[in-house]
Structure 1
């Protein structure tokens, strides 16, 4: 308080002294520039100088404050960028909660807010926050370029991940209408159709997948085999109602490479067996196995109900010379020998299979064989061991 009073008193004294000096001194200032002269009272000139000095000082302060604001804004933008960068790193590392938090914090001043919101939506999906995913996608839509598929692709991908295949398909079909040749849209359509088990639509999509090389050669072959195997099984189910012509036409129309596929052969052999055409099924299976060994086909071969069971038994025994330790082949031989009523041979094959691989179905076959031979105690024991093995698996 004393200091304030001191400065106030000093100001009054100084003001009074200046007023007295201004009364005593009546000098003036003359400035001549070419033909122009400026004349003013000395004290007025001093006052003008003080005013100019004050204005200059104020301008300097304003400019400094503007520079400070600019630096503050730059620091803030840099902070947002760092938050976005941290969020993306967390996302790549699978730290979904931290990724979502930092990406949303950085979205406000981000150079690419669309990326922030899309990545945050993916992180929210990983956390199981489905409602938040939709909210974030709506936010992202505000920053997406016109006709950009980014929002739709992200939405479809997340719906597929949640196994909401029908909703994903609706989004993807809309995107395909906008961009018929978009490779990622087509790749996601494959997932949607597979999820819905819409094999006919997948079949129609195959030519475009092949033409645009959406999948590599191995993936395309596997997809073709998967599609045609399921189409055959679907037609086989309908053929059970007497509609076998469509299935036979489908089989004839298949490319030869697909017709030799183990998956497709397996599906068609089921149909032939169901229609009572065991001899055709045996020929199809044996010729395919001779070209491309496949344990699933061998397993199916052992289940054939052939009118002359000795024929498939001889064929399978020829395979055994090349693969003496194949448990699936030994199981198939055991089954064929049982149907041929070669009980001793059947038992040897089944026990050999069991020694290599303790499969529950092999225990079940041995149990049935022992029951057939009247050994109920061993039959019960094999059934029990099979149940234990099945529970362990």
Structure 2
């Protein structure tokens, strides 16, 4: 649009000048003694315009020639910047995609070739993160030191310190990270949210409950922390403050907000402190206030531990909770434990069975087993305790009809192999010369099926003490053989059970 405007304007000026000059004919005389030059006004104007155009074109050409070195340097700079941008982009894509080795290679090459200090800092920081992902902590620290050297601006210095601290926290060195963070500027405000979060992580890992409590509250106030995470951190930190306060724990307790007092870790710590000072009623109030907000399993377990005198009052309170949560397994188990403390056996069994129907747990099975044993129901107690063991270690129940595998007799020192086991009989201890000799019946070769030579009747005498030791060592370590599940041959089973252990087995 602008080009059309100027073209139209020049055309209008040219037409107006032509009309004006045609109506006013005249001459232009240039006196340069001893010369006298006379021109028409039209020619004079044309010469002036032409001279101006030639002068303008000449000056522009001269300016273009003089600007060639600068334009060459600019072109090279733009090409280098484009190359650096491509390498930085490839490095970041590789870092985000998990190709840490290739990413570190590209970023390290960029760090060595680029001349821009800001880009050097970015390349070093990115390469340090890639090296950290490969657990190359020595290379990571070296890259971070290079980034610190090239960081001239305050913002870049803070970025290097914050990233270094974050990587140290991920490595599991909160003390070193805290030392790095303490060198950075910090004030409560939106500008330092990231540093505040890193400080919170360091203090939480170091169990600095006072600092973690204050930082978590500040971040939650600025909505920079999720409510669930804030409750978890504040609860643990406030409980730690209570337990570390010593005799001044009441002052800390009064400084907490009402919502913080109902957090499970805080309520458990306060109840423990009240119980330590024999103020069970205050401990009950603390636990009940927390349970009114949330039926936490640990709170319910602590609420169920009480003296028999407090059972009735706590049961009445638990019944009101049960109306709102009729199928809460932890509440049902806690009520069963309260009934056990109060020796209300029927109600205890009823609550525990209801809890077991909703959620089977090893603890509930164990409580029912203990109750059944107390009531004299041994079979039920054994069944419950067996199920508690299976639930705690994850063992499958063995089928009742399954038989255990037979004992491995290959290592039995008295084991002999023959085609017919009846060919070998035990000697009569009243008439045999030695109780440890195996007699061979007529018609049996001196070679067993494995090709070994059986000892003769007089050569088979072995020292009784050595054989007995080997015999007992074998059967002490062997698994129990499968017992007969039927009743077809009871006499044979009882006879085998009465076999004298001093006699070797014959096969």
TM over 0.5: yes
CA change 1:316–1:135 in 2 (3 A) is same
Show the counterpart of 2:322.
320
- Checking the alignment, whether the CA contact within 8 Å between 1:328 and 1:353 is kept in structure 2 is yes
- Checking the alignment, whether the CA contact within 8 Å between 2:200 and 2:212 is kept in structure 1 is yes
Quick check: 358-367 or 201-210, which moved more? 201-210
Quick check: 309-318 or 71-80, which moved more? 71-80
1:340 aligns with 2:342: yes
CA change 1:373–1:392 in 2 (3 A) is same
Show the counterpart of 2:301.
299
1:231 aligns with 2:241: yes
Quick check: 286-295 or 111-120, which moved more? 286-295
- Checking the alignment, whether the CA contact within 8 Å between 1:282 and 1:304 is kept in structure 2 is no
Show the counterpart of 1:44.
none
Total equivalences in the alignment:
321
Show the counterpart of 1:140.
147
1:119 aligns with 2:126: yes
Show the counterpart of 1:191.
201
Quick check: 375-384 or 121-130, which moved more? 375-384
CA-to-aligned-CA distance 1:138-174 (integer Å, 9 cap, x gap) = 1212221254211111110001001111111111112
- Checking the alignment, whether the CA contact within 8 Å between 1:80 and 1:109 is kept in structure 2 is yes
Where structure 1 has 5 or more consecutive residues not aligned to the other structure, the ranges are 1-63, 239-244
- Checking the alignment, whether the CA contact within 8 Å between 2:308 and 2:341 is kept in structure 1 is no
1:109 aligns with 2:114: yes
Q: Distance in 2 between matches of 1:356 and 1:285?
A: 24
- Checking the alignment, whether the CA contact within 8 Å between 1:278 and 1:305 is kept in structure 2 is no
Alignment partner of 2:251 out of 249, 252, 257: 249
Show the counterpart of 2:435.
none
Alignment partner of 2:291 out of 289, 292, 301: 289
Between structures 1 and 2, the one with greater helix share: 1
Q: Distance in 2 between matches of 1:217 and 1:322?
A: 25
Quick check: 119-128 or 206-215, which moved more? 206-215
Q: 1:25-44 to 2 correspondence within 5 Å?
A: none
Where structure 2 has 5 or more consecutive residues not aligned to the other structure, the ranges are 1-67, 396-507
Equivalent position SS for 1:287: helix
Show the counterpart of 1:6.
none
CA change 1:199–1:67 in 2 (3 A) is closer
Greater Cα radius of gyration, structure 1 or 2: 2
Equivalent position SS for 1:180: coil
1:152 aligns with 2:175: no
RMSD (CA atoms): 3.1
CA-to-aligned-CA distance 1:31-84 (integer Å, 9 cap, x gap) = xxxxxxxxxxxxxxxxxxxxxxxxxxxxxxxxx9x9999978865654443222
Q: What's the offset of the Cα at 1:273?
A: 3.0
Q: 1:1-393 to 2 correspondence within 5 Å?
A: 78-107=82-111, 108-109=113-114, 111=116, 112-147=119-154, 148-175=157-184, 178-181=185-188, 182-205=192-215, 209=219, 214-215=224-225, 220-235=230-245, 238=246, 245-305=247-307, 307-392=309-394
- Checking the alignment, whether the CA contact within 8 Å between 2:369 and 2:381 is kept in structure 1 is yes
Q: Distance in 2 between matches of 1:318 and 1:166?
A: 48
CA change 1:381–1:97 in 2 (3 A) is farther
